[in-house]
Chain A
């Protein structure tokens, strides 16, 4: 996966972290953080805390790998041209490499952020009171008055996720068009 960066000890540690986080289902990570830590070391994270921890670690690993991919996809000649023109390493990175890498990073990172938003729905399984939980509570409270309510409540939840994710992909598409090279 990331053989080319696995040189220093730091790189090996990060590589292990990346592989570990990526092969695990997010639900398993959530259960480890919430139940596993409490059982093993008596770390009693509250449900929201466990979710924040897992999503930070998971999002960080995935985004880090995207950034790595974007950086290594820049042809070596771009670095070499900059070297020949006398640019410093910092100038090369900020003026030449980063602007190109950011463009290549954009589609993947937007995709990732919508995935993270959608995956937060798993938090309900740790008992976090988030949109799905509230929706279930509304459905249960009005089960007998509005037996058809289930569809509508989940429909509204769908809309709420849509409202968060749709602008992200719109913005990404607009940026991609403006940056087209």
Chain B
């Protein structure tokens, strides 16, 4: 499933040595000219996207469906190989593309780089054959070779923080959607990721469960976790964002480091229209 070509990896490492140090070890996530195009497609899904997420900051990506926001997140994650540009995490190249890079499969990224990024998906994240505690402890024990006892204690502390310590022995199917997403956040956080990616993590939840998940994310933001978040919850985006970017058709429409201003007085016409679609004025007179 994870295709990794040896020649590709070696070439990549060679690149890293000869690469002029344009990044100057920028602390955080840096995307430079990220371009993504599917095989046989006639246009880019992502076109020349350059964005920074400084360490400790939260970037929220908004935009209509099909704008490429999830694809951008997945490209950073390494789940979508890119055909142009560069992705750097704390100065290290984690993704690089040139025209002709294969469009399908996962990016050839070694485990040591993958574990530096955590990700939570819309749903079906948790491994259904394992209980909550095992879900959280699996990667640190298996991948980082940490001591199991130690990891379990840390996992329980994390579960405590999200209010799920008493459900440590439960199977994922015994939890509500909101509880599952909180466990998924713990599973990502126990790896101490330098960057946490959240891909519409509340999109499949009932409204009353959205809050319990988003409160956890707000806590993480307060704790200085670098995050890149794709969401449709505009009120939440406004509450958590340090920076906002709006995408459409694979390009950046508007970018702002003043979320309050973006959500109340967006500069571009397109962003205004987009934000208005979330508002309902009283229209029906019964």
Contact = CB atoms under 8 A, between A and B. Distances in A.
A100 B128 contact: yes
Interface in B1-20: 1-2
Contacts of A75: 124
Contact of A84 (B112, B117, B122, B172): B117
Interface string B165-203: 000000111000000000000011001000000000000
A96 B172 CA distance: 14
B143 A87 contact: yes
Contact of B127 (A81, A84, A88, A93): A81
A181 interface: yes
| Chain B contact patch, size range | 20 to 34
B129 A83 contact: no
Interface string A152-177: 00000000000000000000000000
Nearest to A101: B129
B39 interface: no
B249 interface: no
B111 A88 contact: yes
A91 interface: yes
Interface in B103-125: 106, 111-112, 114-115, 117-119, 121-125
Contacts of B115: 85-86
- The winner among B79, B112, B122, B173 for most chain A CB atoms within 10 A is B79
B128 A80 contact: no
Contacts of B111: 86-88
Given A77-B125, A84-B118, A181-B129, A91 B2 contact: no
| Chain A contact patch, size range | 20 to 34
Given A95-B142, A100-B129, A181-B129, A85 B191 contact: yes
A85 B129 contact: no
Contact of A77 (B78, B112, B121): B121
A89 B1 contact: yes
A83 B125 contact: no
A31 interface: no
Contacts of A79: 1-2
Interface string A72-115: 00010111110111111101110110011001000000000000
Given A86-B191, A93-B1, 4 more contacts: A77-B123, A86-B143, A89-B1, A95-B138
Interface of A: 75, 77-81, 83-89, 91-93, 95-96, 99-100, 103, 181
The 5 closest A-B pairs by CB, nearest first: A85-B139, A86-B115, A86-B111, A86-B143, A99-B129
18 contacts: A77-B123, A78-B127, A81-B119, A81-B121, A81-B125, A84-B118, A84-B188, A85-B115, A85-B138, A85-B187, A86-B139, A86-B143, A87-B142, A88-B2, A91-B142, A181-B129, A181-B171, A181-B173
